[in-house]
Structure 1
Amino acid sequence: MYAILKTLADKGFVSVYFRKNKRYYYAEKPQRLAQYFEKKLELFTNIIPTLESFGRKQDQQLGLRFIETKEELEAFYTSLLARYKNKKYCIIGSLHGWEDIDPSFFKRFRMERGRANIKTRLLLTADSRSDNPPDPKLLRDVRYLPAQYTFKSTIDIYPDQILIVSPHLSSLAVVVAVPAMVDIFKSIFEVMWEMIGRST
């Protein structure tokens, strides 16, 4: 835990101060973390064409899998229902950027995910609020990012992998199964979740 806090302090997401020989951490405004997240996502999406130029075997060795078609993406999501049954995961993204790929499939998937007892925490763009279904059977806990952050990508952070879905990628989506990256995104999500919760 302290290693994560130190990393966040080094990046300016938390302030550190001492009182009576004790170290205290104070979270900065969520805007700073959202800006950092946007930059990291942009950098990552910029190198995807280079990664795609590697052979498929090398992609697997790097812990990457590229999803090229809507059918492949739907098959991936369907596989999650058994893989993460009775578990939970986190999402950062845009409802419209995600759902607009195939509205009927993703509305159905949300219901099936709830029936599989998969709980999700979501940090969504502010423009998602008006169309986001409030149904408690979906087993979702939702918070909204400040209105100035409007992106179309969505990142699903699973226990052992990350899925990045973006209409701006040359591939429809990328699965990243690199433990260090999964840990980083989990930590970023948790800090954003706390800060957004306090600011709303």
Structure 2
Amino acid sequence: MEELKQAGLTENESKVYLGLIELGPSLAGGVARKTGLHRRTVYDTTEMLIQKGLVGYILKNNRRIFQASNPNRLIEIIQEKQNLLLPFVESIQQKYNSTKEKEETNFYKGKEGLKTVFEEQLDSKEILILGASPKAYEILQFYFKWYDKTRKQKKIKSRIIASDKKISNIPLAEIKYLPEKYTSPVSVNIYENKTAIIVWAKDPIAIVIKNKEIADAYRSYFELMWKIARK
């Protein structure tokens, strides 16, 4: 019966149709006894099934004798619905394709790869950095001088949460600190709809995820830690 519901039949319509399949040509009273439905309900339900082409009837002695149509009609009903729905789906598919943000995950390795990640951030309005590591300035020492200068020229503000007081005196940046025990070689940069997870190892790597929901989730976590951190 669940399959008939998937085809768009109500519970009563399913009962009456299956009842007629088993009974063959029948009066409303016979269908009522078979299905346990009230006779008036059977009449109302058969009218709906007639409209759907699933039940027919003949008049004999001014009485309707109902008969179920070929079950292939169920497939036709589904196909008809698909045909009606197809133009609508095609129209909204175009809107979906034009507005859906494409999710991307990119991996970068080495100093040059990380430079690509940071230069991309220079098109942002604000950069949030969770777990800033002093190793960043050791690995990309000369590059960050240019990066911070360019960020300042573009007036891109940054908020930074670090655990090492060596992270200080960065232009256009507000810095707060967590206890040193939370120091880690991994930092997370959040900007626009992207999240960059950076591992400041000897051969550094970065994973950049382009996804608004993920970026917003990390942004919320950053704001929570920002309240906990101290200047």
Note the residue ranges of structure 2 that are not aligned, 5 or more in a row.
1-101
1:132 and 2:167 matched: yes
State the Cα distance separating 1:163 from its structure 2 match.
0.8
AA at the equivalent of 1:123: I
AA at the equivalent of 1:64: T
What count of residue pairs does the alignment treat as equivalent? 130
Higher relative contact order (CA 8 A, sep 6+): 1
AA at the equivalent of 2:218: F
Q: Which one of the candidate residues 180, 183, 190 is aligned to 1:147?
A: 180
Cα distance between partner residues in 1 of 2:152 and 2:200: 26
Cα distance between partner residues in 2 of 1:169 and 1:155: 18
Q: Which one of the candidate residues 160, 165, 179 is aligned to 1:122?
A: 160
The answer on whether the counterparts of 1:66 and 1:171 sit within 8 Å (CA) in structure 2 is no
- Percent identical among aligned pairs is 25
The answer on whether the counterparts of 2:133 and 2:184 sit within 8 Å (CA) in structure 1 is no
The equivalent residue for 2:9 is none
> Deviation above 4 Å: which 4+ runs of structure 1?
168-171
1:187 and 2:212 matched: no
Q: Which sits farther off after the overlay, 165-174 or 140-149?
A: 165-174
State the Cα distance separating 1:88 from its structure 2 match.
1.1
The equivalent residue for 2:108 is 67
1:106 and 2:147 matched: no
State the Cα distance separating 1:171 from its structure 2 match.
6.5
1:117 aligns to what SS in structure 2? Answer: coil
Cα distance between partner residues in 2 of 1:194 and 1:133: 19
1:67 aligns to what SS in structure 2? Answer: strand
Cα distance between partner residues in 1 of 2:204 and 2:137: 17
Cα distance between partner residues in 2 of 1:174 and 1:98: 15
1:132 aligns to what SS in structure 2? Answer: coil
Which structure has the bigger radius of gyration?
2
TM-score, scaled relative to structure 2: 0.51
State the Cα distance separating 1:121 from its structure 2 match.
0.5
Cα distance between partner residues in 1 of 2:112 and 2:196: 15
TM-score, scaled relative to structure 1: 0.58
Residue 181 and residue 147 in structure 1: after superposition, are their counterparts in 2 closer, same or farther (change >3 A)? same
Write out aligned runs for 1:1-200 (5 A): 63-81=104-122, 83-84=123-124, 87-125=125-163, 127=164, 129=165, 131-134=166-169, 138-167=171-200, 172-197=205-230
Cα distance between partner residues in 1 of 2:162 and 2:200: 17
AA at the equivalent of 2:131: G
State the Cα distance separating 1:162 from its structure 2 match.
0.7
The answer on whether the counterparts of 2:131 and 2:162 sit within 8 Å (CA) in structure 1 is yes
Cα distance between partner residues in 2 of 1:151 and 1:171: 14
Describe the superposition over 1:124-170 as per-residue Cα deviations: whole angstroms up to 9, x where unpaired: 11x2x1x33425xx111000011221201111111210111103598
The answer on whether the counterparts of 2:132 and 2:167 sit within 8 Å (CA) in structure 1 is no
AA at the equivalent of 2:189: D
